[in-house]
């Protein structure tokens, strides 16, 4: 994915120099306003953004962006956009080399040269976005486009669950206060495991309860199990990790899934306990294109459950308020859109 053009872009002969976008400025300020347009380069397509999800990975980028990339930059890697014909797409946000050992293994999410929309290139918090055509995943007609913003985090959840390799019937606990925790429970159910979902905050508990009811899985205080074969730890910080690890059966696995924006250190007693019980801890981050395609199919079959996770929908100009809501733990799955005409 080459760097996107600056200044002008054209679409079917139309000339436009600027668009509305939320951008992270050189001083670290997040602003909404006019932003130079994009030009779709060979192999890319210019799409109109309809919805953008907001997650703690975005919070981490807004906090650390000046140290990670050249600014200004438009964030946003979980979004839904449409083409001239009205077809909606989710977009796999990675650009990979296709030649390294990991790419040849089909694990492009681990490409040593990978680049990401919203970090290395302007992302989906804008009116328009230029994306590689090979990264576009069409949304089926039966899926409400707003739910497509969950395709990217659900794809990452599918990857995370695969890493702990639950056997059919394995008992898995997904715990946290993020939308990733809920989606990991859905991914585990899809993989044939028996998932339980535990919320570590009040805001998450409210959303998780509705979500779990649609899926028919146990959650919160209703959880009748004490120990699990594997755990997906998807909290915003590491404060809950000792409790998560204590609930894993000897020889079990834990996957760290989520941005973990907190900086708390893991106590040495936890590390000793992991060693004595031979608990394996694995990290999980991005997803493959195949995971994205699986996620879109899963969203279609579980659309009512996933819709229950949305706790707020606002215009792009309210993005700072959504970011604050995530930081303070009042929101877990807000969605933003460019303007009123998309409602």
Residue 202 has a pLDDT of 83
Lowest mean pLDDT among 92-101, 116-125, 256-265, 277-286: 256-265
The whole-chain average pLDDT of the chain stands at: 87
Neighbours of 58 (CB within 10 A): 27
45 closest CA partner among 6, 78, 84 = 84
79-82 vs 44-53, strand pairing mode: antiparallel
Q: Could you give the residue ranges of the DSSP H alpha helices within the chain?
A: 56-68, 101-104, 151-164, 179-190, 202-215, 241-246, 268-277, 289-301, 303-307, 319-327
> Where residue 4 falls among pLDDT bands split at 50, 70, 90?
very low
- Triad 166, 184, 242: Cα angle to 5°: 80
Paired tokens of 117:
């929309």
d(Cα 326, Cα 149) in Å, to the nearest integer? 16
pLDDT digit string (tens) for 214-267? 999 988 766 778 899 999 999 887 788 888 888 999 999 999 987 766 656 677
* In contact, 166 and 193? CB cutoff 8 Å: yes
Q: Which residue's entry shows tokens 């994915």? A: 1
* In contact, 91 and 1? CB cutoff 8 Å: no
User: pTM for this structure?
Assistant: 0.91
């Amino acid at each position: 994915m080459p760097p996107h053009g600056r200044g002008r872009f054209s679409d079917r002969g139309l000339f436009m120099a600027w668009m509305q976008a939320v951008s992270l400025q050189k001083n670290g300020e997040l602003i909404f306003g006019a932003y130079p347009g994009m030009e779709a380069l060979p192999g890319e397509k210019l799409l109109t953004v309809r919805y953008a999800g907001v997650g703690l990975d975005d919070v981490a980028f807004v906090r650390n962006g000046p140290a990670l990339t050249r600014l200004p930059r438009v964030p946003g890697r979980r979004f839904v956009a449409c083409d001239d014909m009205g077809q909606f797409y989710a977009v796999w946000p990675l650009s990979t080399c296709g030649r390294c050992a990991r790419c040849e293994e089909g694990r492009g999410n681990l490409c040593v040269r990978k680049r990401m929309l919203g970090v290395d290139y302007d992302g989906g918090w804008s009116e328009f976005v230029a994306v590689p055509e090979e990264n576009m995943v069409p949304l089926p007609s039966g899926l409400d486009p707003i739910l497509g913003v969950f395709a990217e985090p659900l794809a990452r959840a599918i990857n995370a669950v695969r890493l702990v390799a639950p056997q059919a019937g394995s008992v898995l606990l997904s715990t946290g206060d993020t939308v990733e925790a809920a989606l990991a429970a859905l991914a585990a159910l899809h993989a044939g495991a028996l998932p339980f979902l535990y919320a570590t905050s009040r805001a998450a508990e409210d959303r998780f309860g509705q979500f779990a009811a649609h899926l028919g899985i146990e959650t919160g205080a209703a959880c009748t199990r004490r120990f699990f074969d594997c755990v997906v730890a998807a909290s915003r910080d590491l404060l809950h990790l000792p409790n998560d690890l204590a609930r894993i059966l000897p020889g079990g696995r834990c996957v760290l899934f989520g941005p973990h924006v907190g900086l708390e250190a893991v106590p040495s007693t936890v590390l000793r306990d992991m060693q004595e019980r031979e608990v394996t801890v694995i990290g999980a981050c991005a997803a493959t294109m195949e995971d994205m395609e699986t996620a879109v199919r899963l969203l279609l079959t579980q659309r009512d459950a996933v819709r229950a996770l949305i706790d707020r929908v606002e215009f792009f100009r309210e993005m700072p308020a959504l970011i604050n809501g995530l930081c303070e733990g009042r929101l877990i799955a807000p969605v933003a859109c460019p303007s009123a005409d998309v409602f």
